Structure 1
């Protein structure tokens, strides 16, 4: 287990710069998740830490050691890929122990490490099966087990759940969370799924176009986004954002530098027209059982999403008022930076 530090890290592909001066410290035992839209550089950054991509400029320190120019095998890291990359002709036991066998580890020691990893991942009944006899979730657990037996300095996960169906993703999120609690290892995890990020991470690193947009705990990013990009990327449904100069907005005392106004769907109450901070017309209702998402057409402000509990009983075309919860509004300046 070790800390990982990135100092002014850059990555260039010819004339194209894809990682633009990233500075980041990941503490020992921390679970850090890289999130961002496609093409933001999150997988490239992970591969640079692993040594699978060359670092164009800057430094990568692992446990205080400069590992920038070291090959992957020297870094002591274990990587779990999106594809399971299991040997189809080998049993689960042989797949998990292959790297130890290749390194010349004595068989009794190898078997002990495989048995312990199988116990942690609940793979003990499957050790004699081959990959074709396993479900997707079981195969991913084998791939993780193959990493555990190496006792790595840190674990790197590159979208490990993206090939699984919704139910298996939920199951594997739980397994990975329990694994981190058990091993207390440093983990870096890449995903485009913010639910994975919010439920698993100690800290989230939000990347935008090769730069770090904001770093913080899930709660910090959700409740205090530092800019418009993070405000609208973190949260589902995303934050409602519109211009403070919008006609019909009845909110006083806004600072002069405020350009955009933000409010999350769960912080809006549906009231009678004229009784809230804005009026609109119900456009679409999305009933989800415990919640209903009410899409309200508010004219110049656009369509705002309101998260209401249960069935609202409303119908499209109904006139409504929207009341914003005190202390839950967000303001951004012309550059998109949070000012409150």
Structure 2
């Protein structure tokens, strides 16, 4: 495993700048996830680390070595893509060992490394099968196994679960988390799915428009977002946001300069109309089993989402009051930056 550091990294396509001066230090053995909406630059940044995209400006350091100008083959990294890209005419074992065979490794070395990777990924019983005989999750495990046998300094994952259905994504999240625990390798993972980011990462790098909006642990980003973008991107459902305080909210003590007030769905309590900070009418209820999301129309095009227990008597059309937990209020200024308590 190796540390990776990006120093003022930029990427230009002609006159268009897509990565805008990224500085980031990744510790050896750390699981880092790049997350953000489509077009934010997360896959481009990953490909720059891999050497698949040229770095226009700045430095990429791998294990304290300047690798900025090195070709991918010299960087010692292994990349797992969305597409499994398995050879259909080869068995699972042959697919996993192909890179070693091409590098001239002995049959004994290939067998040992493929066997160990298969054990870690629970593919022991599948080594003689062809890719067409595997499920999507099994194929992705084979693609990961192909990377493991190379004993890379770090693993790079480019949205590896996006081609899987919902159930398989949950299963593979677990597999990847266990893999990181077993290998203790440096891993950089790209996804647009903030649930994947929250459940897998040691630290999350939130990207917006080619820049880092915030870096931190999942807990830090959820509880202390640095700006409006992070506040509403991290969390499902997203944080409720109310423009201004003014006459819309009752008994809210906001810091000077507050332009937006945020509150997460689980930090709102529903009660009788006239109680709390604002009144509204239940618009829609979304039953999810253990939880129900109650969407309340508060007028002036403001709808707030409230998380309650799964069994609720509230029905569309019911009037209610919403009470905000004061310790969980978030305040943002006119430029979208969080206002921290002094």
Cα offset, 1:252, TM superposition? 3.4
Match of 2:83 in 1: 83
Query: Gapped runs of 5+ residues in structure 2?
Result: none
Match of 2:211 in 1: 211
Check whether the contact 2:3–2:63 (CA below 8 A) recurs between aligned residues.
Answer: yes
Q: Which moved more, 1:98-107 or 1:292-301?
A: 292-301
Q: Where do residues 221-232 of structure 1 align in structure 2 (5 Å cutoff)?
A: 221-232=221-232
Q: Where do residues 192-207 of structure 1 align in structure 2 (5 Å cutoff)?
A: 192-207=192-207
Separation in structure 1 between the aligned mates of residue 12 and residue 131 of structure 2, nearest angstrom: 38
RMSD: 0.8
Query: Gapped runs of 5+ residues in structure 1?
Result: none
Cα offset, 1:316, TM superposition? 1.0
Check whether the contact 2:252–2:277 (CA below 8 A) recurs between aligned residues.
Answer: no
Match of 2:72 in 1: 72
Check whether the contact 1:43–1:190 (CA below 8 A) recurs between aligned residues.
Answer: yes
Cα offset, 1:271, TM superposition? 0.6
Match of 1:295 in 2: 295
TM-score (norm 1): 0.99
**1:263-322 CA distances to partner (integer Å, 9 max, x unpaired)?**
000000001111111111111111111111111011136000001111221111111000
Cα offset, 1:247, TM superposition? 3.1
Separation in structure 1 between the aligned mates of residue 68 and residue 3 of structure 2, nearest angstrom: 14
Q: Where do residues 195-274 of structure 1 align in structure 2 (5 Å cutoff)?
A: 195-274=195-274
Check whether the contact 1:247–1:300 (CA below 8 A) recurs between aligned residues.
Answer: no
**1:182-220 CA distances to partner (integer Å, 9 max, x unpaired)?**
000000000011111000000000000000000000000
Cα offset, 1:248, TM superposition? 2.9
Cα offset, 1:244, TM superposition? 2.2
In the alignment of these two chains, the number of paired residues is 340
TM-score (norm 2): 0.98
Q: Which moved more, 1:286-295 or 1:43-52?
A: 286-295
Match of 1:107 in 2: 107
Cα offset, 1:246, TM superposition? 4.7
Separation in structure 2 between the aligned mates of residue 116 and residue 231 of structure 1, nearest angstrom: 42
Q: Which moved more, 1:209-218 or 1:236-245?
A: 236-245
